[in-house]
Structure formats: C-alpha cells, structure tokens
Chains A and B, each alone.
Chain A
C-alpha cells in the first residue's frame, strides 16, 4: 500500500538515510529498529511529509507521490503521532480529537452532543474508554497518545506512523497503547513504529526492519527473528572493538570534592579525581549525576561542601569561574545548554576561548580561523565551511564542536555529561577515542553516562549514585552491569 523506494536523505552534507526500500501493508504492525542516528525518525518524517527525500521516491497505492507538508500526507491518509505530542491543553478531549472536523448544526454552531458522540466512537474503536469532557492537560502521556491515534483515525488515516510511542510510558500504560494498536490492526490500518525496547517488538510487531547508519540491513517477519539475531543486526559489530583500551596510569590529585550538597538533588558527595584518570559516574535518571556536574561547573552551585582544585579551595559560582579555574564541561543538553544554533561553527567553537584571540584591537580573525581549521580537522567535524550555522550539522558533529569548544579553553578537568547521547555509532567511536587521548594527555575526566558498556570500558574507576548519595565505588575491570544496577536501584 505504502512503499519507500530507495529513499535517500542528507543533512548538511551528512547522509542520514541511503537507498532504503520498504513496503508497508494494511493491517500490519511494522517496527523500525536501530540505534540512535540510524535513520528511523528521518525515514518516518519523509513518509509523513515532514522532510522531502533527496533521492528515491514514495509510492502510495501504486502511484508516486510527493508530499509538500504533513497536511498533504494526512489528506492522502498518512498520519504521524509525534515523539513530542502537541495537544492543546485547555481544550477537552473531544475538541482536541476532532479539531478542524467539528460537526456543526443548521446555524453553523458546533454541535457539542454530536462532537462528543463522535469522539467516543473513535476512542471505542481503539478499545479505550475516556471521559471526552475532561481537559487534555489532565491526561497522562499514554492517554494523550491514544487521543492522538484516535485523531489520526478520525481523519481516515490508513497509515499511522509512531515515533517511539512507548518511550515515556509505564508498563500498564504500554498495555493500554498496545490494545489501541491491536484495534488499528483489526481495522486494516498499517502501523509503523520505532522503539528501542526489544521485548516489545516481539509482542507487538508483525514485521521487523533494522536500520544501521542510514541503511536498511534486514527486514523480516517477526516470527523469523530471535532477539539475539536482532541485536546483531542492529549493532553490526562487536562493541568491544569500538572502545579503546584504558592505558594511562593516573597521576596526582587534581580535583577534590568534599561533602558537596544541594538538597534534594544530592548530599555529602566526596571524591577525588587524578591527572590522566577517567572517573565514571553512573546512576539512574534523577540520581543527581547531572546536578553534581552542574555544581562543579558553576551552573548551579552546591549549597554546602568544598571543591578543591590542585589543593586549593575554589568558589565556582558561574561557568566563567569554572573555566578560569581550569574546568570544562560538555553538557548533556546539547540544544538547551550547548549550541547557539544560528551562530557559525567557528563562532560556536571559539566561544569559550575567545579571550585567547582577543587584543585591545579586537579578535585576531586569522588566528581564530586557523585554530578553527585545526579543530575541525582534529575532530573530523563534517561541515561545509566554518561559517555554516551549527544548527545545520548532525547531532554527532554538533557534539564534536562542543567538545572542541570545551577543550580549546585548555581545561585540566573535563566533565563529559552523556557525551554520546543521540549520536551515531561512528561519532561515538571517535568520542571514545578522544576520551582515551584526553586521559593520555594528562587531563582528568569525569564521565557521566547511562550506557553501562560505555562507562565500564572507558573508565579507571566508577562511582555509583543512588538517589543523590554515593552508594559504591567500583573497579570497572572487576564488576558487571548487574552489580552497578544493584547499587543504583532505589531502596
């Protein structure tokens, strides 16, 4: 019914999807699998008319179609339920569901009874029973999702695309969503969805397709695949080969933290960090990892405790203080606290080290350009030219610019908060190699990561946080992911 033929898409010179051909059939639940940056979202967005393909075509009921925008696609019967849902919070469920399709009476007034009757009808089609009169803001994420799906149904969608619908859902919410998806399958709707969750796809999907680095590597009925075969297709190489060996022997203590506290995020945090050492900080979301990093970098100072750099107490009340003291940080919030999207790659890269190029007569433009060119080369940053706005780069390349920014300022201590989140495997490998080089160059690195294989392979020592307190110090060579999780789980 819906067919992608050799779809290709590039962003700012980086190919994110290449020659992907897939069929989507009525009444079939089709799961797109792959790591972050594999191209799943891009593929969906092209099918939904959000992006235009740079190569290949989309065929719909046997004809080649070009969607100018999502409305075009919707008019043809292809709807997308987004990762970030967009309800109007103060309108009620029925008003949101039938927005733009409100039934009217003879005078052109909205027929409210009919509106709610229709809304209940569409929700019932998804095996859901919701009070259509309550405002959208009172709904849980899962309920909003169901309303969004019903919205697609009410618009006669034959294909519904869902980008990570279960990412933010609890288990019983997932069950409700799955009932709704079963409802769609029975109605003959083609469902396409992306997820990271292995167990889910085998319960739900009829067909699995795996994307890796922008290419389709495998597609098969779910019944013909095993979980381990699926993982092999997704990763495509042994992870061990991606990580550089940990070689450096740590030197003298550079950073010492004593009794760092900021209620309720974390309390009584004490540790030391040595020259050339990579110290891991593991813990669940909300355990206080990022908050501790932010305190060390002056973004949100602690309320109690002491930070000593090279055996001297320091007061770090702003990132400016931290940079001056020799601390650098790469944030986990690349969009919010990292890039300045409209500014060029060069201006983003040199922002923290601008003083070095400045004199009373202004910025030495040629020195700045030279330094930028060196960094672009050293980090293999893929950009058209240094004047290109950083917002046009891929996530991995933005991240490399931010790393270069932090390191150009010449810090002794580098805090990396989830440095590989949301970037492709190639860029990940480069960042792993970089961490090894930093350590070899005598920098002290504090590495925060939710990816346990990553943190186990890259660090000398590992601290585990549980609900704002340090619960364990582990030797990554003699521990397991299970042991880390045991120390990280709330009691």
Chain B
C-alpha cells in the first residue's frame, strides 16, 4: 500500500483538519502580531519545550487507544529523573547507566500499572492514581526531598543541539515516527485498536487482551522514563517535585489530536498536532506577555474549544 493510500484510509486524518486550521490560524496570528514568534531561535525554543510533553503524549496515546488512562506520568517523570541523576554523578558510571536506569524505572512503573490493570482487574484510573502518589513519594525518598545535583556534563549535554536541532526534539521525532509505523503496520498495533474498540470482541477474535494492555502500559512507562531523563538533562538536576500535572497536558494533547478517551480511535499523527497546538499556545501567550493566571484560563478554553470543533466535524 502506498503512503498516499494509507493517508486516505486513515479516516481520522480528515477529522484533524479542524486542528490543523486552528494551529495555522494561531501561528499566523502570532507571526503577524509579534516580531519574535517567527524567528529561528523562538521556534527552536518551542521545539525544545514541546519535546517532553510530546514524548509523554505519544506514550499515553498507546494507553488511551486501549481505552485506559495513565495519570502517573508526571510523578514517574520525576522519579525517573531522580533515579537517572543519582547514577549520573561525574566519573561514577558510563553514560548509558543513568539513561538505562531512568528508562528502566519508567518501564517498571508502567509494567506494574499494566499488571494491576490486567491481573488485578482494577480500573486504570485508580491504579495509575495510586502510582501517581507512590512514584512521587519514592522520588522524594530517594532524593531526600532535595534536588539531586552534580550531574555529569556528558548527560546534561543531551539537552543540547545537534547542528540546528535540539536533541530532545530528535528524541520526540524518533519516538513519534517509530510509534506511527508501529501502530499502522504491526499486528500488536492493530490489536491495540481492536482492544480499545470492543474488548470482548477482540478477545473472541483471538487477540490476547492482557498482553496488549501490558504492552501499552509498559511502553507508556518506558517513554515516561525517557521524558524523565530528558527533563533531568535539561534542568541538570533530578527534581523530585518536577513534572507536576504533566499528565494533564499530555492527555489533553492526545485528545485534541482526535484520540477517543474511550479507546479504539485515533493515533500518533493527531497526537503530534495536539502537542504542537499546546506548545504554540504556551509560547504565544508568553510572547504576548499574558500573565500566567490568564494563560491558564485561555489554555483551558482553547483545549475544550479545539476538541469541540474536532468532534463537531467528525459528526458531520
């Protein structure tokens, strides 16, 4: 199947025109009203800022597609960052050790979420709510409640650039690309949609529902770990209080992108658009020097508005 045909078959893409329009409109307005928006340095800055939310949003897309939810993203970001920083003191370990430990931490949290949801039969909302406070607590315990500083420059350099491109952005792009191909082209990806679309029917068609869910939560955790490592590199410390409410921005981005909270519909392309929209709104409000109190209100209105527009289009 050609790429063009795949796009046509991806019916949800049609629904996303609303989001694309809003995205272009806001970008155009900002370019017209501010001098700084359409500059290379600002756009790189936006890219850097959206990367972490982007990685989280792609991860949680997998979970939302199965009809689940993951509220523990922000806390697990903090925990993975702290663990990463603890292994990142200069001269102690090779660079791969702190990165690997950060990823492992996130992956294990995700797997535990998955096991509790599938084996324990507990609602994802409750499981991940529990994980949210447990991971936050562990981050505080391991760090003694203080930021874990003294990280090797080899690691903090990872927040820098390759040529003109920020490394976090490259991470986000790679994660998004691999996930997109995976969801569209692989059996397990197809099974995610089946489970989210009608779980009993998926089981009856021979899909191993627990395996699919375990995979989704595990992968989401792994990517959350990656986001934790990237964040620690950027702020050069393992911050036990970092990542507060990150899950909300990530889930908002996914939903703006057309993925249904009840599962089975949506995908990574929409999530990328959602991430960009939220990133550009944040950036634009900063550039227009809107007070952060108003920013919160405006952002909320735009999120709901964008989703409303999208759903209205999908219905017609």
Contact = CB atoms under 8 A, between A and B. Distances in A.
Interface string A322-353: 11000001010000111111111001000110
Given A369-B1, A405-B205, A358 B198 contact: no
A64 interface: no
B171 to A, nearest CB: 23
A299 B200 CA distance: 10
A336 B201 contact: yes
A379 B132 CA distance: 50
B246 to A, nearest CB: 29
Interface stretch (A45-53, A131-139, A360-368): A360-368
Contacts of A338: 201, 204
Interface stretch (B23-31, B44-52, B139-147, B184-192): B184-192
Interface of B: 1, 6, 8-9, 11, 181, 185-187, 190-191, 193-194, 197-198, 200-208, 260, 264-265
A314 interface: no
B200 A343 contact: no
B184 to A, nearest CB: 8
A341 B197 contact: yes
Contacts of B193: 340, 342-343, 347
A78 B42 CA distance: 61
Instruction: With a 10 A CB-CB cut-off, give which of B8, B181, B205 has the most chain A CB atoms.
Output: B205
A366 B1 contact: yes
Contacts of A39: none
A51 to B, nearest CB: 15
Nearest to B264: A342
A351 B186 contact: no
A369 to B, nearest CB: 6
A411 to B, nearest CB: 11
A198 B207 CA distance: 43
B204 A331 contact: yes
Contacts of A362: 181, 185-186
B198 A318 contact: no
B11 A343 contact: no
Contacts of B207: 320, 351
Contacts of A297: 204
Contacts of B191: 354
A358 B191 CA distance: 13
Contacts of B6: 365
B295 to A, nearest CB: 35
A154 B193 CA distance: 46
A361 to B, nearest CB: 8
B197 A343 contact: yes
Contacts of A355: 187
B185 A299 contact: no
Given A323-B206, A351-B190, A340 B201 contact: yes
Contact of B265 (A342, A365, A369): A342
Contacts of B206: 319-320, 322-323, 351-352, 409
Given A340-B197, A365-B1, A358 B264 contact: no
Given A320-B208, A351-B202, A358-B187, 8 more contacts: A319-B204, A336-B201, A337-B201, A338-B204, A347-B190, A351-B190, A354-B191, A387-B8
B204 A299 contact: yes
Instruction: With a 10 A CB-CB cut-off, give which of A329, A338, A409 has the most chain B CB atoms.
Output: A338
A342 B1 CA distance: 21
Contacts of A341: 197-198
Given A354-B187, A387-B11, A319 B197 contact: no
A391 to B, nearest CB: 9
Contacts of B197: 340-343
A363 B185 contact: yes
B185 A340 contact: no
Contacts of B265: 342
A323 B191 CA distance: 16
B185 A337 contact: no
25 contacts: A297-B204, A318-B208, A319-B204, A320-B208, A329-B204, A336-B198, A337-B201, A338-B204, A339-B201, A340-B202, A340-B205, A342-B260, A343-B197, A344-B9, A344-B11, A351-B205, A352-B205, A358-B186, A358-B187, A363-B185, A363-B187, A365-B1, A365-B6, A389-B11, A405-B205
A169 B1 CA distance: 53
A372 to B, nearest CB: 11
Contacts of A318: 203, 208
B61 to A, nearest CB: 16
Top 8 A-B pairs, shortest CB-CB distance: A362-B185, A365-B1, A340-B197, A387-B9, A323-B206, A340-B198, A351-B205, A337-B204
